[in-house]
Homo-oligomer: A and B are copies of this chain.
Amino acid sequence: MTRIDDVARLAGVSTATVSRALRGLPTVSAATRRRVQAAAEQLQYAVSPSASRLAGGKTGTVAVVVPRITRWFFATVVEAVEDHLHENGYDLLLYNLGGREQTRRRVLRTANLHKRVDAIILVATPLRPADATALTKLDLPGVTISSGSGVPGWPSVRIDDVAAGRTATRHLVDLGHTRIAHISGDPDDELAFTTHLDRRRGYQEALRAAGIRPDPSLDVESQFTVDGGTRATAELLARGEPPTAIFAACDEMAMGAMTALRDAGLRVPQDVSVIGVDDHDLAGALGLSTIAQPAAEQGLLAARILLDPLGVRAAEPYAGSAPAPGGGDASDDTPARPVILPTRLVVRESTAPPRAH
A interface residues, Cβ below 8 angstroms from B = 1, 44-51, 53-54, 59, 64, 68-70, 72, 75-76, 78-79, 82-83, 86, 91-96, 98, 103, 106, 110-112, 114-116, 225-226, 230, 252, 255-256, 258-259, 262, 281-282, 284-287, 317
Contact = CB atoms under 8 A, between A and B. Distances in A.
Given A93-B91, A94-B78, A226-B281, A115 B83 contact: no
Contacts of A47: 115
A115 B70 contact: no
B115 A96 contact: no
A232 to B, nearest CB: 14
A119 to B, nearest CB: 15
Q: Which 3 A-B residue pairs are closest in the complex by CB-CB distance?
A: A46-B111, A50-B53, A50-B54
Nearest to A52: B50
Given A46-B111, A70-B75, 12 more contacts: A46-B115, A47-B115, A64-B94, A68-B79, A69-B78, A69-B82, A70-B76, A79-B96, A82-B94, A92-B94, A93-B93, A226-B285
B96 A94 contact: no
B79 A86 contact: no
Contact of A259 (B111, B112, B285): B285
A110 B46 contact: yes
B285 A1 contact: no
A281 to B, nearest CB: 6
Nearest to A256: B285
A231 B51 CA distance: 50
B115 A98 contact: no
Contact of A255 (B69, B256, B282): B282
Most chain B CB inside 10 Å of its own CB: which residue of A82, A86, A92, A282: A282
